[in-house]
Amino acid sequence: MTSLPAQPTPKRLGLVIDLDTCVGCHACAVNCKEWNTGGYHAPLTDFDPYGAAPDGVWFNRIHSYEAGTGADARVVNFPKSCLHCDNAPCVTVCPTGASYKRGSDGIVLVEEDKCIGCKLCSWACPYGAREFDTDAGVMKKCTLCIDRIYNENLEEVDRVPACVATCPASARHFGDLGDPDSSVSRLVADRGGYDLMPEMECAPTNKYLPVREKTAGAGATLPLEDASPEGGFLGWVDRLLSDTSAA
Amino acid sequence: MHPAYSIIFFTTASGLGYGLLAVAAVFVGTGWLPAARELGAIIILVGVVLVTAGLLSSTFHLGHPERAWRALTQFRSSWLSREGVAAVLAYVPIAGLAWGWVWLGDVAGAWLLAAWLTPVLAAVTVYCTGMIYASLKAIPRWHHPLVPWLYVALGLATGAVGFHLVVAMFGAANFRSAGVAIVSLLAAAVLKIGYWRSIDTADPVATAETATGLGGFGTVRPLDPPHTAPNYLQKEMGYRVARKHALKLRKITLVTLFAIPLIGVALSVFAGFFLGAALAVIAALSVGLGILIERWLFFAEAVHVVTLYYGEKAA
């Protein structure tokens, strides 16, 4: 059914991505592809991987932007994946019922067996979260790793999305954003987490933590140590050697 | 947006087919056109072939055409599904019209009802086609209140020119068939020009700054792309070829879709049979070319907000 579930869903599982700590290493994208090419949407296309024009489905892509100009400009690594919106337009446009948002935890999924591959959902998404699998003829997208987070064959510590598990900088956090006391909700409240492109009115579940303000003086070029120190042992040595060479 | 040829053919052919059937049904329903069987057979055949070919071609770009029947199930939320349902329902009055007009040679009673339901369901179907595009907020130039009405007006205008051609071939063209074509062409032209003015002067809905949330630092520019070769999103949404030539293509659209057909249809009424038919042919060929350019431009001019992540500044 492509009508959206009653809001809010009891759980709102999603990601909180810290733009301040992301180092732009692409490990989350690589581990996502690695897990998901054997997961719910397996396999993911990987055409011409070592050639001139590699092409394939990725659920997670890491952009990098320069924001601002001059001394105040910032380089920001910017991972982007499905935001599992509350008001997901990709769900309501689907003519077949293949695209749906789960009432239990808010995860947006595609049921491949029902998908006719009309691509309308990818047109409806402002964030580019959906990518068409030209080989299977169906649309694919981030599943928030439903085959990890509910997987009782994994250790409990590993029951998080692949991108979160692998992030070496802990820039990605997973949890229930519907629970105001969860660690991710507190993180959003403390750091002022925000929505991407709020004017699209999709009410994304995933939040982004802003880049922190620069520490005063940080990044300013500090002078090298003085070559002609005044006083002290080094001053005495300097004076002595300088006098010798002058003589 | 990348213009898929199957979708351009689908929207223009089905619009023309529904327009032709709708105008013909009104003419027969009002008695402006004699319920001549041969004329009815030709019009219904051409109309149904255009509509059906259009609907079939819309399945060509699908990844799984064999599952297309599923697209009839989600009419409660999806305009694409609503269009499919409306298209199937529209065959009912069209079949009734065909039965009365072609088989019985008389449109009366239930068949008259079918004649009046045909334009209603044709308009509903084409309106739904327009709403598929107008419902997409992520493509601001499509998410515009005029878009579904443009689809209806252009379907009616192209259909009316087609209808004028068919009746001209039967020597039955008159001021009414020409008048409907001229009025609907003028109405469509006014809507289209109004639409272009509106999208050209509209403020951007989103920017690279709001897309990333980094506007607090200043202007946002892409530094390193996420991948070394263009991905699906860039190929599907990042089409820019036509935007470069948009103004020239708009002029060509105005001439081929509106000016030449208007002149051709108007003159054809005053000409004799052969010259009149020739002018109607020219008008129809021109309107056919014009609607293809218009629809191609409709896709190619549309900017998707996802391109803001790939270097577009505002959408």
Instruction: Provide the ipTM.
Output: 0.93
How much is the average pLDDT of B255-284?
96
pLDDT (0 to 100) of residue A218: 67
Distance CA B227, CA B176 (A): 60
Number of domains in chain B: 1
- CA-nearest of A61, A53, A66, A51 to A26 is A61
Distance CA B162, CA B24 (A): 10
CA distance A226 to chain B (A): 36
Tell me which of B173 and A88 has the higher pLDDT. A88
pLDDT (0 to 100) of residue A238: 84
What is the CATH T-level fold of the domain A13-209, as seen in this structure? Alpha-Beta Plaits (3.30.70)
pLDDT (0 to 100) of residue B100: 93
Q: Tokens at residue B238, please? A: 């990042």
Distance CA A220, CA A206 (A): 34
pLDDT (0 to 100) of residue B246: 87
- What one-character-per-residue DSSP string does B116-153 give? HHHHHHHHHHHHHHHHHHHT-TTSTTTS-TTHHHHHHH
Is residue B287 one of the residues assigned to a domain? yes
Beta strands in chain A (DSSP E): 13-18, 46-47, 55-56, 60-67, 74-81, 99-101, 108-110, 131-133, 138-140, 172-176, 207-209
| CATH number of the domain bearing residue B169 | 1.20.1630.10
Is residue B154 one of the residues assigned to a domain? yes
- CA-nearest of A54, A58, A74, A64 to A25 is A64
Is residue B315 one of the residues assigned to a domain? no
* Interface check A2 vs B, CB under 8 A: yes
Query: Residue B64's domain spans which residues?
Result: 5-310
Domains in chain A: boundaries: 13-209
Is residue B273 one of the residues assigned to a domain? yes
Q: Say yes or no for a CB contact (<8 Å) between B63 and A137.
A: yes
Model confidence over A32-57: pLDDT tens digits? 999 999 999 999 999 999 999 999 99
Looking at the DSSP bridge assignments, the partners of residue A74 are A67
pLDDT (0 to 100) of residue B266: 96
Local confidence band at A114 (pLDDT 50, 70, 90 cut-offs):
very high
Looking at the DSSP bridge assignments, the partners of residue A55 are A47
Q: Say yes or no for a CB contact (<8 Å) between B226 and A57.
A: no
Model confidence over A68-88: pLDDT tens digits? 998 888 999 999 999 999 999
* Interface check B203 vs A, CB under 8 A: no
Model confidence over A3-28: pLDDT tens digits? 898 877 889 999 999 999 999 999 99
Model confidence over B59-81: pLDDT tens digits? 888 999 999 999 999 999 999 99
CA distance A72 to chain B (A): 7
Is residue B194 one of the residues assigned to a domain? yes
Reported as half-sphere exposure (CB side, CA atoms, 13 A), residue A14 has a value of 31
Is residue B36 one of the residues assigned to a domain? yes
Reported as half-sphere exposure (CB side, CA atoms, 13 A), residue B72 has a value of 10
* Interface check B68 vs A, CB under 8 A: yes
How much is the average pLDDT of A93-122?
96
φ and ψ at A111, to 5 degrees? -90, 105
How much is the average pLDDT of A128-153?
97
**Which segment of A188-192, A209-213, B105-109, B268-272 scores lowest on mean pLDDT?**
B105-109
Question: Cβ(A83)–Cβ(A12) under 8 Å?
Answer: no
State which residue of chain A sits closest to B302, comparing Cα positions. Answer: A123
Q: Which of A65, A135, A195 to mutate to test the interface with B (most CBs of B within 10 A)?
A: A65
Three-state SS string across B88-123, please? HHHHHHHHHHHHHHHHHCCCCCHHHHHHHHHHHHHH
Identify which of A58, A97, A138 has the shortest CB distance to residue B74: A97
3-state secondary structure of A17: strand
* Interface check A192 vs B, CB under 8 A: no
CA distance B218 to chain A (A): 4
Question: Cβ(B168)–Cβ(B265) under 8 Å?
Answer: no
Is residue B304 one of the residues assigned to a domain? yes
- CA-nearest of A3, A118, A95, A117 to B84 is A95
CA distance A168 to chain B (A): 18
Distance CA B86, CA B74 (A): 12
Listed in sequence order, the residues at least 6 apart from B145 whose beta carbon sits closer than 8 Å to its beta carbon are B134
3-state secondary structure of B310: helix
Question: Cβ(B298)–Cβ(B201) under 8 Å?
Answer: no
pLDDT (0 to 100) of residue A37: 96
Q: Say yes or no for a CB contact (<8 Å) between A65 and B136.
A: no
